[in-house]
Structure 1
């Protein structure tokens, strides 16, 4: 089958890898507008469930992703309000990898399997592409391929809160939510380690705070200076890094993308072109990769392309419906954060942890117990054992275990 894919992000590259693994005879060309190794953003987070998927589907690239990842343990909620600084804690752990490192691993693996990845090709019109049996639109939330047809039934809802995706040279060891009360209202960041010495730092606030602080009018460097001053204690005096690919990131509002169908004719959507989930869920990369696997599997199972696309659409859209509903709920919670921020850090953190509902009756008791250092130590020890067990179950070699111990 001749396949053209537009977009060399996680969705497009992992689809190409998965399709080639299932049928080496596929002729797959991936076009991307950017040069090699160029990417917006900093790091992405994921959990053991994605590692399980990666090792089942392609152990070779999974081992490379493992080796390039770092571990973060615990989650801290720091609240700097009128009552001074307070900190609450969640348990748990996760992994993160710089987006550029992830794309480098996937691009190299795709090339090894015979995928033709062509960088520096901006595709504004599908009619300029060579003929193919299948066109995969993996060109993001603002997909130009998707935008050329009303057949997908695309709906885009824009969130209220402005946010900006930054880095920092402060090396966080935990996933940190830091909330600062200013004269204009609350402003906060979500931060986690991405690569040795660098952390991702997503700054968010309400529109009222954004305007009140003048972030809508300040020049970029002035705005960064103001944010560094506001978050100076939380960043321990470290700087924010705002330039990626020699460009300054813009303030933006989250675009919640849904589609009534993920395929139209011989064009199919994957990743953010098909769906977006708010960054407070941390699921975007995982969902994009699974899209690629399911689409490749459907093409293997069904000889007729339309049948394969129909099955992919039925299966993945059904799975994504509750995930996107949860993402909307999470986004809305942060848009109304003022209702909870004055409760004190422990109560506020509990409200954050139950924002999606469906918690066990004993959740609050566990949350209160986790504020005790001895309980956190016990939970980390249990988590270490769990990571060891899961790594052995998925067949990770001992050579990869050290990487999980990095901060």
Structure 2
């Protein structure tokens, strides 16, 4: 089949790689120039690497080689100290990931056309000579908007403000740092993604954002203020933003959680952020986008013409909507926890670290924070006791068996 992927992000490129392997004639069109992307480093975990190794070993090996491994999670609350928790994962420059996938796609014969976009209001698919169009054109997808009556998208807009920055300070563990300003709390989500840089996302309530004047400051002034507020964590390193007019404001956003009732219509199918978004605090965006590509490739295996598309796309939709349900729940709870930070921030640092670690739990919104922490401690002690008892019982049974023999 002739397949066109609209969007050269992880979902569109990886779908192109997998479908080219099946012998399809694949083209990727991307509105940005080659080498231009938005964002810094992205995170993922070992299960994704295992899926990539199974799906396409050559690109998986390159991604693994380029990945930055971070170990541990540090929670730092100003004035109360720092708690280190065991954790671990990987991160990679978004641009490096796209470069690897683009090169692999081209190696497999995929045509890549950069600086090719579709103007709003055009017949989006009119100039796409394809049996299947993969709309992987991001959260602002023009294809999804054009098919909104059939796909039934809904968007839930969060209240917190956040901005995606980077720094030359390299964090070898994941850092959540909470700092108090004259207008309220701000916090960062920071992690290294290569030998020279870290992602540094700053988040705060809209009241704090306005109270500090961040809604009125230019980019340079905003970065200087944030560098002062997070000075203890930056160790003299600067914050870096995407190239912009220093007098223009930083690109502060409110997170938009997207859900679509249907993921395909006619010859168009959604993938990645065009189909769904989950709050960045659970770090699953790239994993879910690549998972979409893998599932789409699996659904299309053996499909040789347009007649087989409806059943394949229905299978893809059902599989991915079911797979995303736990991530959607966790992301919703995590985002709400951060929006309700004042409810938790006054606890001691150890309790706060526990609450932050467990922020995806649906119980947190229904129990007082201190009660939840005590309940977790009791549950963990009971679990440890059960494990010790189980091990002791197994040893006793083993001893009886040996004695009987």
TM-score bucket (shorter structure) = 0.7 to 0.9
Residue pair 1:73, 1:94 contacting (<8 A) in 2 also: yes
Residue pair 2:218, 2:250 contacting (<8 A) in 1 also: no
> What per-residue deviation string (whole Å, max 9, x for no partner) do you get for residues 75-121 of structure 1?
000000xxx24101221110110000000000000000011011011
Show the counterpart of 2:226.
Answer: 227
Query: TM-score, structure 2 length as denominator?
Result: 0.86
Show the counterpart of 1:32.
Answer: 30
1:90 matches 2:94: no
Judging changes above 3 Å, is the alpha-carbon distance between structure 1 residues 272 and 263 closer, same or farther for their aligned structure 2 residues? same
Greater Rg, structure 1 or structure 2?
A: 2
Q: 1:356 aligns with which of 352, 356, 360?
A: 360
> What per-residue deviation string (whole Å, max 9, x for no partner) do you get for residues 220-263 of structure 1?
11111110110111111211001258998500010100000000
Q: Distance in 2 between matches of 1:195 and 1:115?
A: 28
Q: 1:200-219 residue pairs with structure 2 within 5 A?
A: 200-219=199-218
**Higher normalized contact order (CA 8 Å, seq sep 6+, divided by chain length):** 1
Query: TM-score, structure 1 length as denominator?
Result: 0.85
Residue pair 2:330, 2:361 contacting (<8 A) in 1 also: no
Q: Which runs of 5+ in 1 are unaligned?
A: 369-407
Q: Distance in 1 between matches of 2:348 and 2:244?
A: 40
Residue pair 2:222, 2:250 contacting (<8 A) in 1 also: no
Give RMSD over aligned pairs.
Answer: 2.1
1:156 matches 2:155: yes
Task: Name whichever of 91-100 and 128-137 sits farther off.
Answer: 128-137
Q: Secondary structure at the match of 1:141?
A: coil
Q: 1:124-273 residue pairs with structure 2 within 5 A?
A: 124=119, 125=122, 126-149=124-147, 150-244=149-243, 250-273=251-274
Q: 2:102 aligns with which of 81, 100, 107?
A: 107
Q: Which runs of 5+ in 2 are unaligned?
A: 364-372, 382-405
> What per-residue deviation string (whole Å, max 9, x for no partner) do you get for residues 186-234 of structure 1?
0000000011111000000001100111101111111111101101111
Q: What is the CA distance between 1:354 and its match in structure 2?
A: 1.4
Residue pair 1:10, 1:289 contacting (<8 A) in 2 also: yes
Q: Distance in 1 between matches of 2:379 and 2:183?
A: 35
Q: Distance in 1 between matches of 2:379 and 2:252?
A: 37
Equivalenced residues, count: 363
Q: Distance in 1 between matches of 2:2 and 2:266?
A: 15
Q: Secondary structure at the match of 1:233?
A: helix
> What per-residue deviation string (whole Å, max 9, x for no partner) do you get for residues 307-347 of structure 1?
11011011111111221121111100000011111112111
Q: 2:76 aligns with which of 57, 75, 78?
A: 78
Q: Distance in 2 between matches of 1:105 and 1:239?
A: 28
